[in-house]
Structure 1
Amino acid sequence: MKHSLLPLLLLVAAAASLPTFRAQAQDNKPVLNSAPPGPPPAPTRPVTPAPATSPATPAPTPTPAPATDPNQPAAEPTPSAPSGLDFPDRKTTKAGGAEDTPPTKKFLYANFGLGYSSIDGIGNFSTSLAPAVGFRITDKFAIGPGISYAYNNYSLSPESFYNTYGYPYNTPNGSLTASGSNSFSNSSLGLKVFAQYIVYKEFFLHGEYEVTNAQLAGYDNQGYLIKINRTVTSPLAGIGYRSYLGEKAAIDFVGLYNFSNSIFSLYPGLNLRFSLLFNIGK
């Protein structure tokens, strides 16, 4: 009886475990995706690298103020500096000024002159050119030698002569020269020395003495104007103003009076000159 029940129990146990095996088989079976296909994935956007940052500039290190020397006396106020402090180069004005030390001891000096005078109806127009070399004896006083060239033109104005004297020019044909011309010119070459003294800032006194182998105007026995060769001395003096163009150059405006003035002088009574100054050397 026991032997006939044993196969029956094994069969019942097998039948009971069959559903569990089928469930495990269903769980292990792959599941197919039955959903509709979606849109394609978006392309990957390239990543832009961040710009490199420049290194920060370090802040400047402040310069420490110079230490005050305890042995140095305190600044005292003056009329030109009420606070007691003075600016750098406060006392320096224009280069080469009267209150400054000139930049050099030597200079080139060239002048160009114009002048006009009229005596007895004869006008005298004069131009001159005179280069020289100057030497500064002190900061304010200078002297130097030079050469000079002068050109004179004499002209006769009959109309003004008639109005003044009431009769024509007293030559046989009423002209300035025997050739019948009312214009007469000559030229001269000479040597000179000059001196200058700075009075105040840009203002200075100027004097010179010139000895010239000159061609002068004279009369012949008929009253005509002729050339006369003669050695002429010309003492001139006056005042000038200097305009600076920097440390190396300046322009002088000078008015001079000729103390030996006459119609036959090399220079008329009043001379206006424009001179160029160039500092040279050390």
Structure 2
Amino acid sequence: MKRHLLPLLLLAAAAGLPTLQAQAQDNKPVLNTAPPGPPPAPTRPATPAPVPATDPATPAAPAPIYDPSTPAVQPSPSAPSGLDFPNRKATKAGGAEDVPPSKKFIYSNLGLGYNSVDGISNFNFSLAPALGYRITNKLAIGPGISYAYNNYSLSPDNFYRTYGVQYPTPNGTLTANGSNSLSSSSLGFKVFAQYIVYKEFFLHGEYEVTNAQLAGYDNQYYLAKISRTVNSSLAGIGYRSTLGDKAALDILGLYNFNSSVFSLYPGLNLRFCLLYNIGK
């Protein structure tokens, strides 16, 4: 019996050997033949967000509470988004739409002028202080006085070079006493009115009566002083630039409706005026 069993075991072992070899090849590890790649980047540790320090003594601000009764912001032509800049509706300090800081003010103008006619130079200086009173925020009136100084001078040499002849007087001088200069002073009284029409722009008018010393020619063409009472009616427009709550600087352009050969002022006048508020 043993002699027949041994050949059978050898035959069974020979038949199962290929299967075991195939399983051994399947379980054998496979080598990686690809070229090595770059090393992986190190992972950056996450930085924790900073926590604001809180003062235990200071309570936290309460969250805003929605109030349904509050009207929503509405857009407008000047603010399409419904939002507006701060102080957008505020006017310029001292402007026409502001309430004046006081009812009374001191108003004075200073004028300087120079011209030359027929070889005679004329230098003019004028000063006219006044006291103003605001009837309304836009309308103001007041009385004042005016002073004007004129100096007329002649240079015979310049006259000869310009006209080619001697100055046409018997002595060739400006005055009969042989002088080539003549000074005059004029003092008057005036009233004025102003009305603000738009912001810093205003209308200005005044009427002045002056005991004036004017320059005129005698029958020998000498220059002499002539005393006359001169009435001057002036009106025009002005621009005001504020210098704080107390003061302002005005520029006036006025037209003299009584302009003539005996006028104290020419047809067009440019004046610089200072305004200073007083009282309450």
Q: TM-score, normalised by structure 1?
A: 0.68
Deviation track 1:222-279 (CA, whole Å, cap 9, x = no partner) reads: 3222222221112223332221111111111223333334554322344332211112
Stretch moving more, 76-85 or 171-180: 76-85
Stretch moving more, 113-122 or 159-168: 159-168
Alignment of 1:145-160 (within 5 A): 145-158=143-156
Q: Does the Cα contact within 8 Å between 2:194 and 2:205 map onto a contact in 1?
A: yes
Question: Corresponding residue for 2:186?
Answer: 188
RMSD: 2.9
Q: Does the Cα contact within 8 Å between 2:230 and 2:262 map onto a contact in 1?
A: no
Structure 1 residue 109: Cα displacement: 0.7
Instruction: Decide whether aligned partners of structure 1 residues 204 and 267 sit closer, same or farther in structure 2, where only a CA change above 3 A counts.
Output: same
- Equivalent of 1:174 in 154, 168, 172: 172
1: CA distance, partners of 2:179 / 2:236:
36
Q: Does the Cα contact within 8 Å between 1:216 and 1:264 map onto a contact in 2?
A: yes
- Equivalent of 2:228 in 230, 237, 243: 230
Q: Residue type of the partner of 1:226? A: A
Q: Residue type of the partner of 1:155? A: S
2: CA distance, partners of 1:60 / 1:263:
85
Alignment of 1:18-37 (within 5 A): none
- Equivalent of 2:98 in 97, 100, 108: 100
Instruction: Decide whether aligned partners of structure 1 residues 75 and 67 sit closer, same or farther in structure 2, where only a CA change above 3 A counts.
Output: same
SS at match of 2:167: coil
Instruction: Decide whether aligned partners of structure 1 residues 169 and 82 sit closer, same or farther in structure 2, where only a CA change above 3 A counts.
Output: same
Q: Does the Cα contact within 8 Å between 1:104 and 1:280 map onto a contact in 2?
A: yes
Q: Residue type of the partner of 2:58? A: A
- Equivalent of 2:198 in 200, 212, 215: 200
Instruction: Decide whether aligned partners of structure 1 residues 132 and 64 sit closer, same or farther in structure 2, where only a CA change above 3 A counts.
Output: farther
2: CA distance, partners of 1:137 / 1:178:
52
SS at match of 1:246: coil
Deviation track 1:83-130 (CA, whole Å, cap 9, x = no partner) reads: 334455432222220232322232211110112333333232211111
Question: Corresponding residue for 2:52?
Answer: none
SS at match of 1:130: strand
Instruction: Decide whether aligned partners of structure 1 residues 76 and 221 sit closer, same or farther in structure 2, where only a CA change above 3 A counts.
Output: same
Identical counterparts, % of pairs: 73
Q: TM-score, normalised by structure 2?
A: 0.69
1: CA distance, partners of 2:248 / 2:127:
17
2: CA distance, partners of 1:156 / 1:129:
25
Q: Does the Cα contact within 8 Å between 1:114 and 1:272 map onto a contact in 2?
A: no
1: CA distance, partners of 2:65 / 2:85:
17
Question: Corresponding residue for 2:21?
Answer: none
Structure with bigger gyration radius: 1
Question: Corresponding residue for 1:18?
Answer: none
Q: Does the Cα contact within 8 Å between 1:116 and 1:126 map onto a contact in 2?
A: yes
2: CA distance, partners of 1:220 / 1:172:
12
Q: Residue type of the partner of 1:150? A: A
Question: Corresponding residue for 2:58?
Answer: 59
Structure 1 residue 200: Cα displacement: 3.2
Question: Corresponding residue for 2:45?
Answer: none
Q: Does the Cα contact within 8 Å between 1:132 and 1:144 map onto a contact in 2?
A: yes
1: CA distance, partners of 2:261 / 2:245:
41
